Amino acid sequence: MYEIFRQYLDTKIKLTADESLKIQECAIIKKVRKHQYLLQEGDVWKYDAFISKGCLRTYAIDERGDEHVIGLGIENWWIGDRESLLSGNPSKFNIDAVEDSELVLFAHQNFEKLCMDIPAFGNMVSQILQRSFIASQNRIQAALSYTAEEKYRSFLEKYSVFATRIPQNMIASYLGISPETLSRVRKSVSKKH
Amino acid sequence: MYEIFRQYLDTKIKLTADESLKIQECAIIKKVRKHQYLLQEGDVWKYDAFISKGCLRTYAIDERGDEHVIGLGIENWWIGDRESLLSGNPSKFNIDAVEDSELVLFAHQNFEKLCMDIPAFGNMVSQILQRSFIASQNRIQAALSYTAEEKYRSFLEKYSVFATRIPQNMIASYLGISPETLSRVRKSVSKKH
DNA sequence: GTATGCTCTTGACCTATGTCAAGATTTTTC
DNA sequence: GAAAAATCTTGACATAGGTCAAGAGCATAC
């Protein structure tokens, strides 16, 4: 439903009725069922996508056939493959639904036009991009410095919302550890309390 | 020297003489000697910084006292701590010079004004930000999926320029492996050719 | 509501990479 | 340009975390 996105916008920026309408006119509502792909490796990603309901993951598959969860997103997050979007090259990633989900999509050209025409909107988008970048930097730091247990603890601190909704094997993959190790870490963490 | 930055701008965007001047008026030239700090943990980072000459690194120090190289930059790269810049909080990172270097700094407020007043400049900046984000995503993928050898190989492919200028122990840290492991990987990689 | 698959846990064992230490090289300093 | 300091290499050994396998616990589907 578009309503969720409207509410999200309201919390972030002030828009005139006209601007608000312009944005809505570009929006495409998309539903995906659990396990359904939003993007498959090899396809070109052409949208800016807001999650209004549910939960999705971005993952890559390496030569050994192992999956690596690159990103996770729930309500009020944005998702997509900016590399494919920007370069026009086929994506290296898959995005699929962890739960039945709903998204608000914008064709990227329309989206860029909205950013140009509505400065408040453009600024919001660039804010989001900045925060995504900062989050990646922090994730890199965690990947470089943390033990398996520290990775899990800091994940819980930041993203406790995810912890209950996402299967453990995906969390393990997101953290760069094996599901077995995550299971053991969880056991030892819970014992300590 | 500011000239290098002017050339960089020329390759990216077209500016009027007036716009060009406005930008130059905000620029602060800063020289740092090898090993000198540009930013120390605990300080607040307040600039947008372009490297016109030399080479710098961003690193964090963990509780065990070990350094982790979060980022590297050479001529024509931007460097800084966007998290501290955006939040106003003290930085978790250190930035220091790997070689004698020269930077073009902009106080962030001036920089934002330039982005607003000169759309071409603003667009360039947001392009750069996007590419930084994409690069981080790829680095996360590498950290999650690659063996030590694969990390080093892909580093060489992307950043062969660095390979000669940056001490191996820093490259090792950037890749999240020990200097000894990197030394062994290099030996085995060179044998294969 | 019971059968079929997933996901999670646990144990036994393995391996890639880390750690420590010593020597060899290279770089810096005066 | 010699001495001191940093960096890199190599060997021996340690270990965090991976892999494999089996069983338990949960969902999902018909």
Q: What is the pLDDT along chain B (193 residues), one digit of tens a residue?
A: 899 999 999 999 999 999 999 999 999 999 999 999 999 999 999 999 999 999 999 999 998 889 999 999 999 999 999 999 999 999 999 999 999 999 999 999 999 999 999 999 999 999 999 999 999 999 999 999 999 999 999 999 999 988 999 999 999 999 999 999 999 999 998 876 6
Query: So what's the pLDDT on residue B1?
Result: 82
For residue B94, what are its two tokens?
């250190």
3-class DSSP state for residue B93? coil
- CA–CA distances in Å: residue A96 to residues A158, A169, B48: 22, 15, 37
Tell me the shortest Cα–Cα distance from B54 to chain A, in angstroms. Answer: 23
B182 CB neighbours strand D below 7 A: yes
Per CB-CB distance under 8 Å, the chain B contacts of A132 are 133
Q: Which residue of A has its CA nearest to B87?
A: A131
| B174 in Cβ contact with B182 (< 8 Å) | no
Residue nearest to nucleotide C17 (CA to C1'): B181
Tell me the shortest Cα–Cα distance from B47 to chain A, in angstroms. Answer: 15
The dihedral sign for the CA sequence A137, B112, A84, A11: positive
Per CB-CB distance under 8 Å, the chain A contacts of B158 are none
Tell me the shortest Cα–Cα distance from A153 to chain B, in angstroms. Answer: 15
Q: With an 8 Å Cβ cutoff, are B133 and A136 in contact?
A: yes
Query: So what's the pLDDT on residue A63?
Result: 86
- Read off the pTM: 0.95
For residue B179, what are its two tokens?
């200097």
Per CB-CB distance under 8 Å, the chain B contacts of A60 are 141, 145
Q: A37 — contact with chain B (CB < 8 Å)?
A: no
* B181 closest-nt by C1' vs CA: C17
Q: In what order do the strands lie in the sheet with A55-61?
A: A37-39, A94-97, A55-61, A67-74
Taking the C-alpha atoms of residue B23 and residue B42, their distance in angstroms, rounded to an integer, is 29
Taking the C-alpha atoms of residue B148 and residue B156, their distance in angstroms, rounded to an integer, is 13
Type of residue found at B101: S
Q: A147 — contact with chain B (CB < 8 Å)?
A: no
Query: So what's the pLDDT on residue B179?
Result: 98
- CA–CA distances in Å: residue B1 to residues B9, B51, B111: 14, 10, 18
Contacts of A114 (CB under 8 A, 6+ apart): A22, A23, A26, A106, A121, A122
* R_g of chain B computed on alpha carbons: 18
Query: So what's the pLDDT on residue A193?
Result: 59
Per CB-CB distance under 8 Å, the chain A contacts of B82 are 130, 133-134, 137
Residues of chain A with pLDDT below 70 are 192-193
Burial category of B39 from C-beta neighbours within 10 Å (exposed 0-12, middle 13-18, buried 19 and up)? buried
Q: With an 8 Å Cβ cutoff, are B141 and A68 in contact?
A: yes
Separation in Å: D21 C1' and A178 CA: 16
* A178 closest-nt by C1' vs CA: D18
User: Measured in whole angstroms, how far is the alpha carbon of residue A159 from the centre of its chain?
Assistant: 12
Q: B136 — contact with chain A (CB < 8 Å)?
A: yes
Q: Which A residues between 11 and 50 have a beta carbon under 7 A from any strand D atom?
A: 34
